[in-house]
Structure 1
Amino acid sequence: MKIATAHTRLSDASQAAHALARSLKARLTTPQLLMVYFTEQYDADQLRETLSELFPEAQMVGCSTCCGVMTQSGYIEGPSIAVWACNDEKGCYGSALVPHEPHRQVADSARIALNQAIENSGRCGELPKLIALHSTPGEEEHTLAAIREELGVAVPVIGGSAAADSVQGQWRVFDSQRTANTGVAISVFYPSARVSYSFHSGYAATQRSATVTDVRGRQLVSLDHQPAAEVYKAWYEAETGIAFDTQQPVFTQSTLYPLGTQTGTIHGLPYYTLAHPMAFNEQGHLELFSQLEVGQSVYLMSGTSEGLVARASRVVESANDHALRQPEPLGGLAIYCAGCMLHVKDKLEQVAHNINTALYDAPFVCPFTFGEQGLFKGGELSHGNLMISAVLFHKD
């Protein structure tokens, strides 16, 4: 298995695609899979069509990213595109996009996309070693549940919801055939290389907790039968000693203080899936980027800017499995939350440097997403916010 990446800041989609192709073909003559990450300024249809013409035999998935992208070369601010590519004589890969349609459940779109990707890989009837999931924001929990139900077991997933420079809906996903602003794009991996993975939050639970007593979709209505927005604001002010500024975006103020639900334990220590508060609405509900359920215990979580810079490399280190063997990664994919990225944007070169060190300078690409999906070490497949995940491919 050989892995290569390329990036460009050329603003024209067709010219950018040709530049990416020249760079990739210098190292991989016939890549089997392209993972394409691009900022919202690009014509996604033009980018897809040109790359499909230049790599007619390759499976492909594209996903928009927030404000830029990161590779082993560092942070590349938008307008920018980065491509992760692999060639694997003994491996197989398949991709598919299924746009959402009004008459079809999101879970059904996910099942169709998964089965089409497996069929396109030529490995029907075999479980993939890895699934890369890029859906548009909304109902990712149903997408993951459908994937697990369809396969019958928990296959490792590295996922990131399509993003843009704002939450105005300018995100896109594509495969080699079509582009969509709502849909599910999936790549399945049957690599010859060993795969390892890690999925973390990097935040700690505070002593402030409550039970979810009412939800409406992704609106958290009440905690312990009290208006959720009031409870969150009181928690925030008590934890930080700072008055919550209702004139400023909730999204930015809550980045270091999201909500969390305990997902499991490992070695006796709890780990959490995070939900990022996005806004208070007029009814006093707390709008989130993920779904909570009535009866769940919810904690106020706490993080630091320093932790957001350091944790990307910690997740890669965790995926390296140092305790099992000396790591020799061929390359990797990482997913980093857009909310975290915006909070530490002036330190992204340090984040990239840290990942390079943990990856022994092997090639990687990392988009910035509006939701993250992954498989915890305890076997739970989860969608969260403000998370980071990594998957590595190894020589052994």
Structure 2
Amino acid sequence: MLKTKVGYSTLKDSYAKGKEAAKHATVGMRPKLGMMYCSCNDDVEEVVNGAMSSMKGAPVIGCTSSGMIMTNDGIIESEDGFAGLMAFDDRNMTIGVAAHKAGKNAREIGRKVARAAVENAGENYSPNYFYMVASPKEEEDYLMGIQDVIGRVPMFGGSAADDTVEGNWKVFCNDQVFSDGVAVAFFYTDNDIVTSYTGAYRESDNYGLITEVRNDRTLVKIDGVSALKKYADWIGKKPSELKGQNLLVASITKPLGVKDPLGNLTVVRHPMFGDDMGTRTTTDDVINLGNKVVEKTAIVQLEATVDELIKSTKTTLKDVKSQLTTEPAGYFLVHCGGRKLGIGDRIDEVYKNLVEEAHGVPFITVFTFGEYGYDEHSANICGGLMLSFTAFGEE
């Protein structure tokens, strides 16, 4: 039977912080895996080293979280940084982990990581479920490479994040710590693992055809019109009001979305940066997105109030719990850092929702700049401004 336990620390010393978090998470446990999340302001290598010293030989994987994490005990944040770790204990579960820094060919790196994780698990077949963490760049290509090796195995996860969108994030897996790359944990188990992956936004009546894209993540034109101008018209703003990171904030409650082919899942695309291309005209203004888009596909403007963003955390946790066929052993909750920014000083309401719905089952919430998952029969996919809530069954 699977057991999970969460430990955390806000000690000033980075090594001691990781050690204490892992020590609390492994009391009475024979851990198979530790999933850990810490502040970008910590000495991340030291946090990881400290955690590994308490993990009884089990692997540690994770990333930096934007501003805070949440556990059953509260919102964990501190000027001295923070670390939180969820430990997994199940004698019938096998885990394989692997990581790789970014390079010239992200898809090939994904293949290498997948092969290494299978080997690390001591197996010769695909896992039942897998976790991916990456820097917020090239995630789709890493995922394709992984699936080239193991096929369409259900996945969950999210990207590394920092506090200011300046690239101060880290990904880590055991003794590997880097800013740009990917890491995975492969789960070999008969236990229930289920994911609820959603943006929980409403679709507006504003939509169009993507007619030009640059470098996968720069949306140049919608319906042949400057993407930023079209979007500004949709939400009742002027393009000049959405320049730079003004767009990132303005779009949290009014992002863009793309649908999977069957229409079961609308994946959010977060407009991150409004670029006027250094010209005075608005006819060439573009939108830099958090994830990939494709020409000749539809894109729709989504919307949600802050009240709805807060409420969605409770309804999504309730949904993922309902998918289990056994009692829950733990919840791993990926919440977009951008949503957190939009929620602002009401973030304590999110915590209250999660505690109320968890009913004492251990959980850890990490705040990311990209969220990964699937819904029903959709493909595995990467999005932004989303929730990827995963439940682990006891059996």
Matched to 2:45, the amino acid is D
Q: Secondary structure at the match of 2:339?
A: helix
Contact 2:213 2:293 in 1 (8 A): yes
Q: Deviations over 1:304-362 (max 9, x none)?
A: 1111111122222221236x75x521111110000001111322222122223333220
Residue 322 of structure 2 aligns with an amino acid whose one-letter code is: D
> How far did 1:110 drift?
1.5
Alpha-carbon spacing, 1:247–1:188, altered in 2? closer, same or farther (3 Å) = closer
Offset of residue 117 of structure 1:
1.7
| Partner Cα distance (1:237, 1:223) in 2 | 16
- Partner of residue 131, structure 1: 130
**Superposition deviation, residue 148 in structure 1:** 2.2
Q: Which residue of 1 aligns with 2:43?
A: 43
* Contact 1:237–1:244 (CA under 8 A) maintained in structure 2: no
One-letter code aligned to 1:91: M
Letter in structure 2 aligned against 1:24? A
Question: Please, which moves more after superposition, 340-349 or 61-70?
Answer: 340-349
Please tell me the residue identity of whatever aligns with 2:186.
V
1:11, distance to aligned residue in structure 2 (A): 2.4
Partner of 1:226: 225
Deviation at 1:247, TM superposition (A): 8.0
Offset of 1:368 from its aligned partner?
A: 0.5
C-alpha distance in structure 2 between counterparts of 1:242 and 1:306, whole Å: 27
Q: Of 185, 194, 197, which residue of structure 2 is paired with 1:196?
A: 194
State the AA in 2 paired with 1:252: V
Paired residue for 1:120? 120
Q: Return the alpha-carbon distance in structure 2 between the equivalents of residues 122 and 172 of structure 1.
A: 27
- Which of 216, 230, 253 is matched with 1:256 structurally? 253
In the TM superposition, what is the alpha-carbon distance from 1:56 to its structure 2 partner? Answer: 4.8
Aligned to 2:312: 311
Q: What SS class does the counterpart of residue 344 from structure 1 fall into?
A: helix
String of CA shifts for 1:208-238, please: whole Å, max 9, x gaps: 1110111112111111111111111111107
**Any unmatched runs of 5+ in structure 1?**
none
Tell me, in whole angstroms, the C-alpha distance in 2 between the residues paired with 1:340 and 1:24. 28
d(CA) in 2 for partners of 1:124, 1:248: 46
Aligned residue number for residue 274 of structure 1: 268
Q: Say which of 204, 209, 212 aligns to 1:211.
A: 209
Secondary structure of residue in 1 paired with 2:382? strand
Matches within 5 A, 1:43-62: 43-62=43-62
Counterpart of 2:28 in structure 1: which amino acid? R
Q: What letter is aligned with 2:59?
A: Q
Alpha-carbon distance in structure 2 between the residues aligned to 1:395 and 1:34: 17
Q: Which amino acid aligns with 1:250?
A: L
Aligned partner of 1:167 in structure 2 is 165
- Which residue identity does 2:161 align to in structure 1? A
| Conserved? CA contact 2:19–2:47, under 8 Å | no
| Count of aligned positions | 384
Indicate the residue corresponding to 1:157 in structure 2. 155
Partner AA of 2:248 in structure 1: F
Q: Matches of 1:257 and 1:310 in 2, distance apart?
A: 17
Alignment partner, residue 66 of structure 2: 66
CA deviations over 1:142-192 (Å, ceiling 9, x no partner): 12222222222x211112111000111101011112111111011111235
> Are the counterparts in 2 of residues 106 and 142 from structure 1 also a CA contact under 8 Å?
yes
Aligned to 1:331: 330
Mapped to 1, the partners of 2:26 and 2:198 lie a distance apart of 34
Supply the distance in 2 between the matched residues of 1:99 and 1:273 (Cα, whole angstroms): 27
Distance 1:7 1:191 in 2: 26
For 2:173 and 2:358, the matched residues in 1 are separated by 28
Deviates most, 329-338 or 142-151 = 142-151
How many percent of aligned residue pairs carry the same amino acid? Answer: 26
Corresponding residue for residue 291 of structure 1: 292
Match of 2:22 in 1: 21
> Which 4+ runs in 1 deviate beyond 3 A?
241-248
352-361 or 312-321, which moves further after superposition? 352-361
Checking the alignment, whether the CA contact within 8 Å between 1:376 and 1:382 is kept in structure 2 is no
User: Aligned partner of 2:316: which letter?
Assistant: V
SS state of the match for residue 373, structure 2?
strand
Give the residue type in structure 1 aligned to 2:84: A
Please name the residue that 1:83 is paired with.
Answer: 85
Closer, same or farther in 2 for the Cα pair 1:194/1:248, shift >3 Å? closer
Unpaired runs of at least 5, structure 2: 278-284
Give the whole-Å Cα distance in 2 for the aligned partners of 1:156 and 1:54. 30
Which residue does the alignment assign to 2:281?
none
1:347 maps to 2:346: yes
TM-score, structure 2 as length reference: 0.92
Report the CA distance shift for 1:245/1:142 in structure 2 as closer, same or farther (over 3 A): closer
Residue range with higher mean Cα deviation, 19-28 or 289-298: 19-28
CA contact (8 A) 2:19 2:53 kept: no
Deviation digits for residues 272-306 of structure 1 (CA, Å, limit 9, x no counterpart): 01100111113211111011100010111111111
Per-residue Cα deviation, 1:34-88 (whole angstroms, up to 9, x for no partner):
1110111111111122222332510111201101111122221242111011111
Q: Distance in 2 between matches of 1:226 and 1:80?
A: 45
Q: Distance in 1 between matches of 2:110 and 2:149?
A: 9
Look up the match of 1:106.
106
Matched, 1:301 2:302: yes
Kept in 2, the 8 Å contact 1:4–1:27? The answer is no
Q: Distance in 2 between matches of 1:147 and 1:246?
A: 36
Kindly tell me: are residues 383 and 21 of structure 1, through their superposed partners in 2, closer, same or farther at Cα, counting changes over 3 Å?
A: closer
Aligned residue for 2:265, secondary structure, equals: strand
Q: Residue 332 of structure 1: SS of its match in structure 2?
A: strand
Cα separation, 2, equivalents of 1:335 and 1:211? 30
